[in-house]
Amino acid sequence: MASPRRIGAPDAKNRTVLLDAAEQLILDQGYAAVTSRKVAEYAGLKPQLVHYYFRSMDELLLEVFRRRAEHGLELQQQLMRTRQPLHALWEFSTDPAGARITMEFIALANHNPAIRAEVALYAERFRDIQIETLEKVLGTADIDPGRFPPGALAVLMTSVSRVVILEQALGVSGGHAEALELVRRELERVEGAPAQNDTSDTPQAT
Amino acid sequence: MASPRRIGAPDAKNRTVLLDAAEQLILDQGYAAVTSRKVAEYAGLKPQLVHYYFRSMDELLLEVFRRRAEHGLELQQQLMRTRQPLHALWEFSTDPAGARITMEFIALANHNPAIRAEVALYAERFRDIQIETLEKVLGTADIDPGRFPPGALAVLMTSVSRVVILEQALGVSGGHAEALELVRRELERVEGAPAQNDTSDTPQAT
DNA sequence: GTCTATACTTCGATAGAC
DNA sequence: GTCTATCGAAGTATAGAC
């Protein structure tokens, strides 16, 4: 029972331009600013084109999330295979743009069922990979898995990076130095001092 | 120079009704849903009344935040004086409604300077109290302050509670049980098994 | 002091032109 | 296959009536 309205090709150039514009808009002004008119302005296109390429604004938002999440997931899987996966994971999850946009989508998910389902799906996948990595790495390390199980540490790492980044954006810094130093020290305890580079590209979280 | 428009008295009954409505609306549908029409509908009043009691929608939002933050701050200070401040603090910071609304305001703060300043101010104050409490409590406990300084632990506690609550709302649960168990165990290590009740009221976080 | 009538802006969406 | 003209609903805000 879908709408009879025609929708533009998925690989059309302007469709990608619109997705990029929407993503940038979320970073600059938050999800609430993603209106057809503003997206079009960012993209340098006419507002009506947004509705030509996307059935609704929700669909556009969903597509932005999917694209970014899919990319982030691949990246995270690559990081798992580097020499220092935990250091890589930490660097990955402390990417400010990634954390910011993730928070926007989580806020959005709280009152948008379609977005929520998608965010939940990817969040579980990210977490699974993190836990898998931690299980491998901690097996050889001097960490008691009874006191610090991989699942708990995955949640801890994600939590601290997210909150610290968000607070930094606000200008809040109480306890940050101590928390970051704690993480740094524990990472080093498990994987040794960080090497220069594990991947060629700068990671982006989702 | 400010607008010559007249604004309703700060203690008028309907003003409070509107603030309550806006707060509930944020919980139900997120900050973006706080429009003059919807707030009025929730309050059972005419949309124009929102603009009579508040100079702008931003001012309404700011007022909602201030009221809640001020209340939460007082509550947190009370908890500090209970027999098991850390258990109380944890219960306080795992209040779902509190965490949800806080995240909405943080998301909002990212692109609203007035809200950002206010959120940052209160966040620092909350953190300061938490650190102060941890310093006292940890002094007598079997925790190495070199490895786990109060500031780091305050950030850790806040981070984990926020992220776990947010993820629970999404339906994500990977690693939660392990993380919560870890916190429970460490709290018990410091303060012993939790007593029935430290305060008479159910706390609400901000 | 309290509220309403009303102006004006921006929104999402679609039918139909190229 | 791509884009535009246009509509009706919803948004903020103010001047002025009670």
Q: What is the tens place of the pLDDT at every residue in B59-94?
A: 999 999 999 999 999 999 999 999 999 999 999 999
Strand C–CB B52 distance below 7 A:
yes
What DSSP string runs through chain B?
---------TT-HHHHHHHHHHHHHHHHH-GGG--HHHHHHHHTS-HHHHHHH-SSHHHHHHHHHHHHHHHHHHHHHHHHTSS-HHHHHHHHHT-HHHHHHHHHHHHHHTT-HHHHHHHHHHHHHHHHHHHHHHHHHHHTSS--TTTS-HHHHHHHHHHHHHHHHHHHHHT--TTHHHHHHHHHHHHHHHH-SPPS-SSSSPP---
Minimum distance, in Å, between the CA of residue A44 and any CA atom of chain B: 22
Q: How many CB atoms lie within 10 A of CB B28?
A: 12
Q: Are residues A50 and A97 in the same domain?
A: no
Q: What is the pLDDT of residue A5?
A: 82
Q: Are residues B185 and B115 in the same domain?
A: yes
Q: What is the pLDDT of residue B3?
A: 53
The secondary structure element, H or E, covering residue A133 is: helix A113-139
- Output A140 or A62, whichever has higher pLDDT: A62
User: Using CA of residue A61, residue A67, residue A73, residue A75, what is the dihedral sign?
Assistant: negative
What is the pLDDT confidence band of residue B141, given thresholds at 50, 70 and 90?
A: confident
Strand D–CB B179 distance below 7 A:
no
Chain B CB contacts of A149 below 8 Å: 178, 182
Q: For residues A37 and A47, is the Cβ–Cβ distance under 8 A?
A: yes
Instruction: Report the C-alpha gap between A165 and A172 in whole angstroms.
Output: 10
Mean pLDDT, range B167-188, rounded to an integer: 96
The per-type count for chain A, helices as H runs and strands as E runs, is 9, 0
CA atoms lying within 13 Å on the CB side of residue A154: 26
- Digit-coded pLDDT (tens) for A168-186: 999 999 999 999 999 999 9
Specify if A198 maps to a domain. no
Mean pLDDT, range A90-105, rounded to an integer: 93
CA atoms lying within 13 Å on the CB side of residue A27: 16
Specify if A51 maps to a domain. yes
Q: Which nucleotide is nearest to B53 (CA to C1')?
A: C2
- Output B111 or A180, whichever has higher pLDDT: A180
Q: Are residues A32 and A104 in the same domain?
A: no
User: In terms of residue numbers, what domain contains B27?
Assistant: 1-55
Q: Are residues B129 and B163 in the same domain?
A: yes
Question: Strand D: which of residues 6-45 in chain A lie with Cβ below 7 A?
Answer: 6, 8-9, 12, 14
Q: Is the pLDDT of residue B200 over 60?
A: no
Average pLDDT, chain A: 91
Question: Strand D: which of residues 48-67 in chain A lie with Cβ below 7 A?
Answer: 48-49, 51-52
Residue type, B172: V
Q: What is the 3-class SS of B117-167, one letter each residue?
A: HHHHHHHHHHHHHHHHHHHHHHHCCCCCCCCCCHHHHHHHHHHHHHHHHHH
Q: Are residues A102 and A125 in the same domain?
A: yes
Which one of B13, B28, B55 terminates a domain?
Answer: B55
- Total domains present in chain A: 2
pTM of the predicted model, to two decimals? 0.91
Q: Are residues B11 and B85 in the same domain?
A: no
Specify if A104 maps to a domain. yes
Q: Is the pLDDT of residue A199 over 80?
A: no
Average pLDDT, chain B: 91
Q: What is the pLDDT of residue A4?
A: 66
Specify if B205 maps to a domain. no
Q: What is the pLDDT of residue A171?
A: 96
Q: What is the pLDDT of residue B140?
A: 82
Q: Are residues B88 and B32 in the same domain?
A: no
User: Using CA of residue A142, residue A148, residue A149, residue A150, what is the dihedral sign?
Assistant: negative
Q: Are residues A50 and A69 in the same domain?
A: no
What is the pLDDT confidence band of residue B199, given thresholds at 50, 70 and 90?
A: low
- Digit-coded pLDDT (tens) for A11-59: 999 999 999 999 999 999 999 999 999 999 999 999 999 999 999 999 9
Q: Are residues A92 and A50 in the same domain?
A: no
Residue in this structure with the two tokens 């009879």, named with its chain if needed: A4
- Within 7 Å of a protein beta carbon, the nucleotides of strand C are 1-6, 10-16
